[in-house]
């Protein structure tokens, strides 16, 4: 493959970034747009990705025909669902090469700059990926209803449910449960109308509240944060069980949860050497890596 151009796309659940480089790594253009989740909205995600790619060519002053000399790697939210990943790969044509991976996979390659290693992304949702140098192994990433243990949305959901139980005197009320109920004006009916429209991100807004009160020593908040930490321990344990290589913890929960993790988890954590976009471009430039 004799490519002149390389495009990496990091398409997460909240924003999508694209970067166009030369073979030597020189950055020619960078563009950003909204979310690109091929599972929750396939057509919109592909449209976003196409627009971003055209945007990078335009910014670099290149004709769209340059695509024939471009190697592209997309890391898209929702691409852990294999049938959607394959469908996306078939829809995007005209490139010298194009590969669709999940956003977690390119983050894993970026974090370890292509070396074997693992990442666990714990934000609104949770997803783990391990790269052994030849193959990816994913765990989680199945969303709020089925999985997302160790995530901010799951922690937030437990906080809201427990706050309602405290409101009904099934659990001892505390400053923590009071703060959560404050959001709903202490009305279960308001909660009920909120819940019918609540997205995982909405539930997740009660995750910082939980950390805050756990740090202040609130018994219930501490229990919920510990439960989240055990779930992350469990995934980290799985991700690091079969290799000497460490894991990188990413996402909004990475920093607040770290002190709550067990010793073994903390010992396994290593800092990211690069980000997801670095990972996508590394894969685009290194065909040997991209034969998953």
Q: Are 88 and 74 in contact (CB under 8 A)?
A: yes
Tell whether residue 185 is a contact of a copy of itself (CB under 8 A): no
Q: Is 60 in the site for a copy of itself (CB under 8 A)?
A: no
Whole-angstrom distance, CA of residue 81 vs CA of residue 240: 23
Q: Does 146 bind a copy of itself (CB under 8 A)?
A: yes
Least Cα distance to 53 among 64, 68, 42 occurs for 64
Q: Is 189 in the site for a copy of itself (CB under 8 A)?
A: yes
Please identify, using beta-carbon distances, which residue of 26 and 169 lies nearer to a copy of itself. Answer: 169
- Nearest residue (CB) to a copy of itself, 81 versus 289: 81
Does the footprint of a copy of itself cover residue 142 (CB under 8 A)? yes
Instruction: Closer to a copy of itself by CB, 91 or 147: give it.
Output: 147
x/- map, 10-39, a copy of itself, by CB under 8 A: -----------------------------x
Residues whose CB is less than 8 angstroms from the CB of residue 194 and which lie 6 or more positions away in sequence, other chains included: 184, 202
x/- map, 71-100, a copy of itself, by CB under 8 A: ----------xxx-----------------
Given the DSSP bridges, would you call strands 70-76 and 5-11 parallel, antiparallel or unpaired? parallel
40 backbone dihedrals φ, ψ, rounded to 5°? -80, -30
For a copy of itself, the binding residues in 156-175 under the rule CB under 8 A are 157, 160-161, 164-165, 168-170
CB hemisphere CA count around 50 (13 angstroms): 13
The whole-angstrom separation of Cα 74 and Cα 83 is 16
3-state secondary structure of 101: strand
- Identified binder of a copy of itself from the candidate list 234, 258, 262, 269, rule CB under 8 A: 234
- Among 42, 136, 183, 238, contact with a copy of itself (rule: CB under 8 A): 238
Output phi, psi for 159, to 5 deg. Answer: -60, -45
Task: Considering only CA atoms, give the Rg of the chain.
Answer: 21
Q: Is residue 136 within 8 Å of 106, Cβ to Cβ?
A: no
Among 28, 79, 108, 235, binds a copy of itself (CB under 8 A): 235
Residues in touch with a copy of itself (CB under 8 A): 39, 81-83, 139-140, 142-143, 145-147, 149, 157, 160-161, 164-165, 168-170, 188-189, 191-192, 195, 198, 234-235, 238
């Amino acid at each position: 493959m004799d490519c002149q151009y390389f495009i990496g796309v990091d398409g997460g659940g909240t924003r999508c970034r694209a970067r166009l480089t030369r073979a030597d790594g020189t950055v020619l253009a960078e563009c950003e747009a909204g979310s690109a989740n091929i599972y929750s909205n396939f057509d919109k995600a592909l449209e976003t990705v196409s627009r971003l790619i055209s945007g990078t060519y335009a910014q670099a002053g290149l004709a769209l025909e340059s695509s024939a000399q471009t190697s592209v790697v997309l890391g898209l939210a929702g691409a852990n669902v294999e049938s959607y990943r394959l469908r996306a790969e078939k829809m995007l044509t005209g490139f010298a090469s194009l590969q669709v991976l999940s956003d977690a996979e390119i983050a894993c390659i970026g974090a370890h700059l292509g070396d074997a290693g693992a990442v666990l992304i714990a934000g609104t949702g949770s997803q783990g990926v391990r790269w052994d140098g030849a193959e990816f192994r994913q765990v989680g990433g199945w969303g709020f209803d089925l999985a997302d243990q160790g995530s901010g949305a799951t922690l937030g959901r437990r906080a809201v449910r427990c706050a309602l139980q405290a409101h009904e005197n099934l659990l001892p009320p505390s400053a923590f449960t009071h703060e959560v109920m404050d959001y709903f004006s202490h009305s279960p009916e308001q909660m009920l109308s909120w819940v019918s429209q609540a997205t995982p991100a909405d539930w997740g807004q009660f995750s910082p509240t939980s950390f805050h009160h756990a740090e202040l020593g609130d018994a219930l908040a501490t229990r919920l944060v510990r439960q989240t930490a055990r779930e992350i321990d469990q995934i980290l344990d799985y991700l690091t069980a079969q290799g000497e290589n460490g894991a990188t913890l990413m996402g909004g929960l990475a920093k607040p949860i770290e002190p709550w993790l067990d010793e073994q988890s903390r010992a396994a954590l290593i800092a990211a050497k690069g980000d997801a976009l670095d990972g996508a471009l590394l894969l685009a430039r290194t065909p040997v890596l991209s034969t998953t």
